[in-house]
């Protein structure tokens, strides 16, 4: 059965793992047609495959088995004697992997310490490594809005990451999952930014991972050709990185020069995926749009990284996607607004003026005014259909020197 799950594509997986199937599995457990241990093993593998496919659904949360597992986790944790640690870990992993972030807090207060203990193991044997590889994707699915004490997780996850950076012992999915878990916590603890940015070097590490992942994908495949299983896994992990950084650029406020390298890598992936992988190329543009919207990334970084060139390239394409166009227009609205905001700091004001002039020359050279004028009649369509903040005044898209 596990081999069958491995072979399923995203759509097949979604059609098979339904609420009805999971409720049927519970009935089979109660009728003693299948043992609980085999069920947990099967569903845990299914949850891990869901992470590998970047596919989540609410079918498990809405099933009766979800409630059964919640009760079992709480019951096992309360045992003072004869506690079955392996069963508790298996239940926590299964529950977290199959959930879609709406894990209720009493269970989370058990799951997080339990899985962090597993994830922080450093023994070199194969069995321990498999446990770590399962625990981290499960942790990455813990609700971003669930607030937990900083000392509950920071040291463990930080040491896990530092150990990997030194020994390269984790799979690419598990390493990305560790970062995703930490990014989710940053929503509550702004003081974590120094750890994320300066100690663990999030942008540098993400840029390195993206480079390695993209190098193992054949971007030049023709439209009808399918990617092999290994390429598909790389694509999914690459997608998870880009999605995570879209959230990160929105929430983080600590600037760092390493962002230029990361943005450059996203630009390279956009160019490689353009015309071959619509999902990834859209994600890249949306990530650049988010980066343009907040002060964590300077406009100078967008210039140096080639982000502005990439967005202009997209607008100059003969056939345009609506999502991409909306993202591109929002990008230039953000850049224009930021370049027209004067800074009190003398050095930053001088940098703004230089960036503004460079931006003006680039837009003029690429015929940006003609592009925006050409889109002017369709802005209302984007406002209505995308609920976006595009300006109907064409002059708002220009950077006036």
What tens digit of pLDDT does each residue of 246-256 get?
888 887 878 88
What are 101's two structure tokens? 């972030």
Q: Are residues 226 and 88 in the same domain?
A: no
CB 321 within 8 A of CB 282: yes
Residue 388 lies in a domain: yes
CB 161 within 8 A of CB 178: yes
State the pLDDT at residue 283. Answer: 94
Residue 33 lies in a domain: yes
Contacts of 279 (CB under 8 A, 6+ apart): 239
Q: Which residue has the tokens 């890249």?
A: 284
CATH of the domain at 393: 1.25.10.10
Q: Are residues 89 and 206 in the same domain?
A: no
pLDDT at 123 over 80: no
Q: Note the pLDDT tens digit of each residue in 188-205.
A: 566 788 888 889 999 999
Distance from C-alpha of 208 to C-alpha of 262, rounded to nearest angstrom? 8
**DSSP character at residue 342:** -
Q: Are residues 250 and 383 in the same domain?
A: yes
The mean-pLDDT minimum among 49-53, 94-98, 358-362, 385-389 falls in: 385-389
State the pLDDT at residue 104. Answer: 62
CB atoms under 10 Å from CB of 322, counted, come to 12
Q: Note the pLDDT tens digit of each residue in 307-351.
A: 999 999 999 988 888 989 999 999 999 999 999 888 888 888 898
CA distance between the termini of the chain: 64
Q: What is the mean pLDDT of the chain?
A: 86
State the pLDDT at residue 17. Answer: 83
Q: Are residues 64 and 209 in the same domain?
A: no
Q: Hey, is 85 helix, strand or coil?
A: helix
Q: Note the pLDDT tens digit of each residue in 372-398.
A: 888 888 888 888 888 778 888 888 888
Residue 374 lies in a domain: yes
Residue 109 lies in a domain: no
State the pLDDT at residue 194. Answer: 84
Residue 284 lies in a domain: yes
State the pLDDT at residue 200. Answer: 93
State the pLDDT at residue 313. Answer: 93
CB 210 within 8 A of CB 241: yes
Domain end marker among 81, 100, 119: 100
Domain end marker among 66, 100, 134: 100
Q: Count of domains in the chain?
A: 2
pLDDT at 103 over 70: no
- Structural domain of 244: 201-401
pLDDT at 115 over 70: yes
**Angle, nearest 10°, between helix axes 278-293 and 229-251?**
20
Distance from C-alpha of 333 to C-alpha of 92, rounded to nearest angstrom? 45
State the pLDDT at residue 225. Answer: 58
Contacts of 8 (CB under 8 A, 6+ apart): 16, 49
The mean-pLDDT minimum among 143-152, 207-216, 238-247 falls in: 143-152
State the pLDDT at residue 204. Answer: 95
State the pLDDT at residue 144. Answer: 65
Residue 132 lies in a domain: no
pLDDT at 167 over 60: yes
The HSE-up count of residue 109 (CA atoms within 13 Å, CB side) is 6
Q: Are residues 225 and 373 in the same domain?
A: yes
Distance from C-alpha of 308 to C-alpha of 315, rounded to nearest angstrom? 11
E strand segments, 93-170:
none
Domain end marker among 100, 128, 162: 100
Q: Are residues 68 and 205 in the same domain?
A: no
pLDDT at 143 over 90: no
State the pLDDT at residue 73. Answer: 93
State the pLDDT at residue 170. Answer: 92
The mean-pLDDT minimum among 16-20, 143-147, 254-258, 286-290 falls in: 143-147
State the pLDDT at residue 145. Answer: 63
The mean-pLDDT minimum among 174-178, 187-191, 193-197, 263-267 falls in: 187-191
> With bands split at pLDDT 50, 70 and 90, how would you rate the model's confidence at 64?
confident
Q: Nearest CA to 153 among 197, 122, 108?
A: 108
Q: Note the pLDDT tens digit of each residue in 278-302.
A: 889 999 999 999 999 887 899 999 9
Distance from C-alpha of 332 to C-alpha of 328, rounded to nearest angstrom? 7
Q: Which residues of 150-163 are buried (b: 16+ CB within 10 A; e: fewer)?
A: eeebbebbbebbee
The HSE-up count of residue 236 (CA atoms within 13 Å, CB side) is 22
Q: Are residues 384 and 254 in the same domain?
A: yes
User: Kind and range of the H or E element at 366?
Assistant: none
What are 58's two structure tokens? 């609410």
> With bands split at pLDDT 50, 70 and 90, how would you rate the model's confidence at 102?
low
**DSSP character at residue 351:** H
Residue 296 lies in a domain: yes
Residue 173 lies in a domain: no
Contacts of 334 (CB under 8 A, 6+ apart): 289, 292, 293
Q: Are residues 86 and 221 in the same domain?
A: no
Distance from C-alpha of 182 to C-alpha of 176, rounded to nearest angstrom? 10
Q: Are residues 351 and 225 in the same domain?
A: yes
Share of the chain above pLDDT 70, in %: 93
Q: Are residues 212 and 70 in the same domain?
A: no
The HSE-up count of residue 240 (CA atoms within 13 Å, CB side) is 29
Q: Are residues 343 and 230 in the same domain?
A: yes
């Amino acid at each position: 059965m596990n081999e069958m799950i491995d072979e399923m594509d995203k759509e097949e997986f979604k059609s098979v793992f339904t609420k009805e199937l999971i409720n049927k599995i519970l009935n089979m457990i109660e009728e003693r047609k299948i043992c609980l241990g085999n069920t947990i093993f099967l569903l845990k593998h299914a949850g891990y495959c869901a992470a590998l496919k970047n596919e989540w659904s609410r079918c498990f949360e809405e099933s009766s088995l979800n409630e059964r597992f919640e009760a079992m986790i709480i019951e096992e944790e309360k045992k003072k004697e004869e506690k079955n640690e392996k069963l508790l870990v298996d239940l926590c992993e299964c529950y977290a992997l199959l959930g879609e972030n709406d894990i209720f807090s009493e269970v989370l207060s058990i799951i997080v310490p339990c899985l962090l203990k597993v994830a922080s193991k450093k023994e070199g044997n194969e069995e321990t490594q498999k446990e770590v590889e399962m625990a981290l994707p499960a942790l990455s699915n813990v609700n971003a809005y669930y607030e937990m004490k900083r000392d509950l997780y920071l040291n463990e996850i930080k040491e896990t990451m530092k150990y990997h950076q030194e020994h390269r012992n984790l799979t690419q999915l598990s390493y990305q999952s560790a970062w995703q878990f930490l990014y989710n916590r940053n929503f509550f603890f702004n003081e974590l930014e120094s750890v994320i940015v300066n100690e663990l070097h999030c942008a540098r590490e993400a840029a390195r991972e993206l480079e390695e992942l993209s190098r193992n994908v054949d971007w030049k495949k023709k439209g009808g050709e399918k990617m092999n299983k290994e390429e598909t896994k790389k694509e999914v992990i690459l997608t998870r990185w880009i999605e995570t950084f879209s959230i990160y650029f929105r929430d983080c406020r600590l600037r760092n020069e390493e962002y230029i390298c990361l943005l450059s890598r996203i630009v390279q992936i956009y160019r490689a995926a353009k015309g071959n992988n619509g999902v990834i190329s859209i994600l890249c543009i949306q990530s650049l749009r988010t980066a343009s919207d907040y002060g964590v990334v300077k406009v100078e970084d967008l210039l140096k990284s080639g982000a502005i060139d990439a967005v202009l390239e997209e607008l100059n394409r003969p056939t345009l996607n609506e999502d991409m166009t909306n993202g591109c227009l929002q990008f230039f609205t953000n850049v224009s607004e930021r370049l027209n905001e004067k800074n009190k700091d003398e050095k930053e004001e001088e940098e703004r003026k230089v960036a503004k002039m460079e931006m003006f020359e680039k837009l003029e050279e690429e015929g940006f005014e003609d592009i925006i004028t050409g889109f002017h009649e369709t802005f209302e369509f984007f406002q209505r259909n995308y609920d976006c903040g595009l300006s109907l005044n064409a002059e708002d898209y220009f950077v006036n020197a």
